[in-house]
Structure formats: structure tokens, C-alpha cells
Amino acid sequence: MARIYPLFSSSRGNAAFVGTPSGGVLIDAGVSAKRLRDALSRAGIPEAAVQGIFVTHDHSDHVSGLRVFCRQTGIPVYAEPKTRENLFSCHYVEPDADVRTLTEPVTLCGMTLTPFATSHDTVQSCGYRITMPDGQSCAVCTDLGFVPDSVKDALRGCRLVLLEANYDEQMLRCGPYPDYLKRRISSDSGHLSNVQCGELARFLVQNGTVHLVLGHLSEHNNTPETALRTVTEALHGYVCGQDYLLDAAMPEDGRMIAF
């Protein structure tokens, strides 16, 4: 059975394992190597099971643990071309690290990982759709300022989606961040609000998704209760006759979710 382990999901650090304890991949490594190793151990995933690390983009909450973890384990990294360049130039990896250029879908451990472009304030960013050996798909889709049709197409039919619900609009507006940061977060190359997440959630549940896990919640501008309430309201009344599960990933999430 296909599994996803959210491990870490917040503005402070992101990493998810997809696969089984006998083989799978990490999406991002945005916490220290020690914390990542401890989380894998607690989840019962041996390090040897990690066959690759797929990077979404070069922000530190997604790659801060990469350099040490890769140096210690030699696990190959996969990144899109401009992200790969930045991983080296910003010293997120050692100069001799095994970082492979991602230009098309890659199959590892029987899973096919297909990157899709996201709109975010960096040189190149992506989410991943992951198709498992049994044909079921899941996706990791965070760090995007808006949802173009290309993202909807990439996610269509995924059974499970780890989906960004970064901020509540009112909490951001009234919160402690300086104006320039508020503008950045809410821009088309920032993060998804709970309302934007709800609109996408409605599309997904109408197109085959049965489990939505809200992720990358801001610790200052959101709470799990607020995000879940907004997305539930977006789904209520529009999604009839379909069963779905909706929950929120914790910043440190020890769960295994089968799909």
C-alpha cells in the first residue's frame, strides 16, 4: 500500500517521505540532518530506504538539512536546472554532491515522480505528483502564490494531496509582519491563503481526491483550526455525494498516511 509520511510541514521546515520502509524518496530536507534522521527513525524508515531527495525549491525551509544529510549518506538529490545551480552557488550542497538535473519524470522504487511548475519567489520552483506502483497517485503542492490551470491539471485525480494552506488573510493583515513581507506572502509568487486552498480543494475533491492534508501552515498567520474551518466551508455545499478526509499536517508530524 502507498504511504506518505509528512515528517515536517511548516514555514520553519519541510520534508516528507513517500514510499514504504523498504524504499522511497524524500521531498525536501528543510530541517537539520539530525532532526531528519531522528524523524525517519521514529517513523520506522531506515536511512537505506531513502533512494533520492527531490527538491521543490531553494528556500532554506526546504533545503537547510541537505548539505549535511547528503554528505553523511551520499543519497542523490534531484532538482530542476536553475534550482540545482542555486543549490551549489548558495552552498546548500557540497561542491562534489551528487545532484541530478530534473528535466522529465523520474522513476525510483517503482514510483514515478513528475515535477510541475509553481509560482513562487525564487528562480524555479515545483511541486511533485508521485504515481505509485499500483497506479494511485499522491502529490506535494506547497509554496505557490496562485493556482494556474497547469497546477490543477497536474493534481487532477491524485488520491491524496499535501496542499499548502499558508495563511489566514485577516491574521496576515493584522499580524506582526512588516508590510513588504505581507505583500510578498499574499502576492502571486508568495503562498496560498486558506481561501485559495479551499478553492483548489473543491476542484480536487470533485476530481478524484479523497484525502487532503493541509500543510506549510504559517506559525504567525494561521492555525490548524482556522485553516480546516475555511477549507471545510469551501467544500460544504459544493461537494455532494463524495467522501473525503481533510486534516492538517503538524509542524512535526509523526504520522504514516496510507492512500
Binding site for Zn ion (CB under 5 A): 59, 61, 143
**Which residue in the block uniquely carries the three cell numbers 492555525?**
223
> Which DSSP category does 105 fall into?
-
Closer residue to Zn ion in complex, CB, 163/205? 163
CB of 143 to Zn ion, least distance (A): 4
End-to-end CA distance of the chain: 7
Q: How far is the CB of 229 from Zn ion (least distance, A)?
A: 23
- Helices marked H in the chain — which ranges? 33-42, 60-63, 66-73, 81-89, 149-155, 169-174, 179-186, 194-205, 224-235
Residue with Cβ nearer Zn ion (35 or 59): 59
* Residue nearer to Zn ion on the CB measure, 166 or 226: 166
Q: How far is the CB of 157 from Zn ion (least distance, A)?
A: 25
Contact indicator for 209, 160 with CB cutoff of 8 Å: yes
Residue with cell 524504499: 23
Three-state SS at 78: strand
Least gap, CB of 63 to Zn ion (angstroms):
10
Strands 137-141 and 160-164 turn out to be: parallel
Q: Which is nearer to Zn ion, 200 or 205 (CB)?
A: 200
Comparing CB distances to Zn ion, the nearer of 143 and 168 is: 143
Shortest distance in whole angstroms from residue 207 CB to Zn ion: 25
Query: What's the grid cell of residue 18?
Result: 513517500
Minimum CB distance to Zn ion, residue 61 (Å): 4
CB of 174 to Zn ion, least distance (A): 22
CA 178 to chain centre: 26
Q: By C-beta, is 61 or 80 nearer to Zn ion?
A: 61
In Å, how far are 137, 145, 202, 239 from 209, measured between CA atoms? Answer: 9, 21, 10, 12
Contact 17, 108 (CB under 8 A): no
238: which residues sit within 8 A by CB, 6+ positions away?
202, 206
CB nearer to Zn ion: pick between 124 and 137: 124
For residue 213, list its beta bridge partners.
162, 247
State the residue number with the nearest CB to Zn ion: 59
